[in-house]
Structure 1
Amino acid sequence: MAKGDHIYIWKNGNTYTHHGIDCGDGTVIHYDGQRICLVSKTAFAEGKTIHVKEYGKCDADEIVVQRAKTRLGEDKYWAPSNNCEHFAYYCKTGNHKSEQVNRVAAAGGGALAGGAISFGTKVAIKAAVETAKNSINPISKVLINVGIKQAPTVAGRVAGGIAGVGGLVSGIATDLVVGKILEDDENFSEHEREARKNGRDVGKIGAIAGGLAGGAAALIVGGGAAIAVGVAAPAVLGIGAALGVYHFGKENKNSKVIQGALHYLDAPYTFNMHFNK
């Protein structure tokens, strides 16, 4: 950590992050939920591990800290448009942005697109995932397996919001949700941008596979769960695989599994569906 760094900690059981700007002298400027104030780094950390957000393009450290200091005492906190992450991102780049707000917006947009049908039972979800994984080409299967295993809990929550009026609508909404959560930003590091691109690409694979597999899985499950499985499949595989591969890519900078598979799939996606009746 150094002067001008955008730093953050995980709070409330790692469900959200709190952000600030490192002044380089043992102090941090942050929005404490009421006003922008200067605190010790120890007070900011609250006993938790401090992380540094990587940037590919940002302003000089002196400018970053000066921006933070000019806003000391501000008391215009508003979670949707002026929270601690907006503040730290503004100090680094001169623009307002919050990844956490983007995720909430994506979930809300997905819920509107999806309607009121519930996400479905665990049996239905398992059937959708297994049917899709067993029916697509081997390279796509590798990507989806990696994604689903690595997917954070938020994948399920967001996917649940968009599982609504039908597989087609759900698949389209999945693309919109993934695109919002993993949108590109020139201020991010090259590694972050590459991980996001891989996530978006795999999200499309998962959504298509889920849409094709949903009908077959619904036949296997039958009953009331059949509707849920057909609707939920694109969301489960699309969002789950996208976020999973994104996090996998962030943690494994030299991963050849994802890069090699995506290179193979630069050509139009082909899904060889062989369902057992």
Structure 2
Amino acid sequence: MEMDKEARKETIKELLKKGDHICSERLNGLFYHHGIYVGHGRVIHLSGPIRGTGKFRSSSSFVSTPRWPCSQKACQGIFCGGIVITCVDCFLDGHSLYVIDYECSKVSSFLEKHDISVKSPDEVVDLAYAEFYRKINSDGYHLLNRNCEHFATYCKTGESFSMQSLWLKAEGLASRLFFLLLGTIRG
């Protein structure tokens, strides 16, 4: 008998380890939201636009408390220069959960080609918290140059890169995706 999506997600949540690079699909897999699992049901991630407003968080804001969809103690719902600490459920926003496997995924060949190594779980978590408190991403979010995947890979390896951005740039799809997301392309 095949496990339903919710049961699968709950099983994966129970297996998460500190320092895991996790992601969750958005817009039916058109792109993925990335973050670092730091333990105790918390994820640190770089956030884009505030849900439902279409506006981006101000890079001049140091710490703010946006509204998040839950009231779990693990969910602090605070952000610092676009970097957010939330619970896993708020990170997922109702979508599936995946763990990036740096040894078995397409990322491994990229890492090898660029001589990049993966940090220990404690180093990953320490870096995620350090970046949160240092407000490293004070310039906010940028789809191609400073997105959630850049943040997660930086915490995991010390090098900032986004496979999604590399693909978009290589395929010349970035501007089309931007207008599609804004709803300005008519089919």
TM-score, length-normalised on structure 2?
0.55
Q: Which residue of 2 aligns with 1:39?
A: 86
Query: How big is the shift at 1:75?
Result: 3.4
Number of paired residues? 109
Instruction: Specify the alignment match of 1:102 in structure 2.
Output: 166
* Identity rate, percent: 36
Q: For 1:71, what is the secondary structure of its paired residue?
A: helix
Correspondent of 1:68 among 115, 118, 128: 128
Which of 147, 153, 170 is equivalent to 1:83?
A: 147
SS at match of 1:85: helix
Q: Please state which structure has a larger fraction of its residues in helix.
A: 1
What pairs with 1:122-271 in structure 2 (closer than 5 Å)? none
Provide the alpha-carbon RMSD of the alignment. Answer: 1.5
Which protein has the bigger strand share?
2
Deviations 1:214-254 (A, max 9, x none): xxxxxxxxxxxxxxxxxxxxxxxxxxxxxxxxxxxxxxxxx
SS at match of 2:94: coil
Separation (CA, whole Å) in 1 of partners of 2:157 and 2:128: 12
Cα distance in 1 for partners of 2:138, 2:23 equals: 20
Q: Would you say 1:4 and 2:15 are equivalent positions?
A: no
For the residues of structure 2 that align with 1:46 and 1:59, how far apart are their CA atoms? Answer: 28
* Counterpart Cα distance in 2 of 1:84 and 1:21: 10
In structure 1, runs of 5+ residues without a counterpart are: 110-277
Paired position in structure 1 for 2:32:
17
Shift in Å at residue 7 of structure 1?
A: 0.1
Structure 2 stretches of 5 or more lacking a match? 1-15, 49-56, 58-81, 104-116, 174-187
- Report which structure shows greater RCO (CA 8 Å, sep ≥6): 2
| Distance in 2 of aligned mates of 1:2 and 1:50 | 13
CA distance in 2, matches of 1:67, 1:79: 22
SS of 1:23's partner is: strand
